[in-house]
Amino acid sequence: MLLPVYDRNPLRIIPFQFMTISLVAVTTLIFLWEIGLSEAMLERAVLVYGMIPSVLIGTDQLDPQLAPMAPAATLITSIFLHGDWMHLLGNMLFLWVFGDNIEDSMGHWRFLLFYLLCGAAAGLAQAAAMPDAQEPTVGASGAVAGILGAYIVLHPKVKILVLAMNWFPLYLPAYFVLALWIATQVASVLFGIGGQVAWWAHIGGFIAGAILVVPLRDKRVPLFDQGVPH
């Protein structure tokens, strides 16, 4: 309903969002690698590197030839795979718009740790909610949801340029845009909308980000925009 394209929120600590751009670049390169694979090789890659809830929980096992690493590692590797161009572009847009300010609040390497932890928490939430699911879960959505959770804790008053219904431009406060986003995820779980989407991963990642940002942020960055003019 609301597609974010820009935020009025300059960097205050770091000079450049090196890690955000690196994550966008690496994730895009991995997707280009994916689309260059044959159908059989792509299916194998998704089974190997995607997060399969039943395998992670331990109720199922992959063929040993398809399991070169511990299932827990897929909580990280699955973040960097995507199903199609729209899946990739949607996640990278949100990462681009909101990630730089969260990187600014933590520094480059703590931001990377934060991103991976949120992605792992998202995968655990999805596996806990659907422990018998045998379909691989892939995508950066959970990690990006963690960025959104952090953003609403740090910068709720910032104005976000969004496209309402994907075409009508509006400036709205971040708390409204992101509260509507998480409400949509919760409603989708409650009403069973979009069964192929890992809604629980989005919710888990959002909660993890809102919590983790507090200890990981630079102490010069206030919570909830306290004392910051907008």
> Tokens in use for 2?
């609301």
Q: Is residue 51 part of a domain?
A: yes
Q: Is residue 202 part of a domain?
A: yes
User: Which residue do the tokens 């995607």 mark?
Assistant: 50
> Which residues, 6 or more positions from 190, have their beta carbon under 8 angstroms from its beta carbon?
none
Q: How far apart are CA 95 and CA 118, in angstroms?
A: 13
Q: How far apart are CA 24 and CA 79, in angstroms?
A: 12
Q: How far apart are CA 209 and CA 112, in angstroms?
A: 12
In the chain, the amino acid numbered 159 is K
pLDDT average per 10 residues of sequence, the chain (230 residues): 91 96 98 96 94 92 78 96 95 97 97 98 96 94 98 96 89 96 91 78 97 96 79
User: Which residue do the tokens 């990280």 mark?
Assistant: 76
**Can you give the pTM of this predicted structure?**
0.94
Q: How far apart are CA 12 and CA 15, in angstroms?
A: 8
Structural domain span for residue 101: 2-225
Q: Is residue 14 part of a domain?
A: yes
In the chain, the amino acid numbered 207 is I
Instruction: Please report, for residues 99, 101, 210, the alpha-carbon distance to residue 148 in angstroms, rounded to integers and kept in the order given.
Output: 8, 11, 8
Please tell me the predicted confidence (pLDDT) of residue 195. 64
Other C-beta atoms within 10 Å of 105: how many? Answer: 26
Q: Is residue 110 part of a domain?
A: yes
Please tell me the predicted confidence (pLDDT) of residue 59. 86
List pLDDT tens digits, range 86-117.
999 999 999 999 999 999 999 999 999 999 99
Instruction: Give the chain's domain count.
Output: 1
Q: Is residue 230 part of a domain?
A: no
Q: Is residue 9 part of a domain?
A: yes
Q: Is residue 101 part of a domain?
A: yes
Q: Which of 151, 75, 69 is nearest to 117 (CA)?
A: 75
Which phi and psi angles does 27 have, rounded to 5°?
Answer: -65, -40
Q: How far apart are CA 212 and CA 199, in angstroms?
A: 20
Please tell me the predicted confidence (pLDDT) of residue 227. 66
Q: How far apart are CA 17 and CA 94, in angstroms?
A: 14
CATH code of the domain covering residue 131: 1.20.1540.10
Q: How far apart are CA 55 and CA 66, in angstroms?
A: 12
Cβ 154 vs Cβ 213: under 8 Å = yes
Q: Is residue 118 part of a domain?
A: yes
User: Which residue do the tokens 């974010």 mark?
Assistant: 4
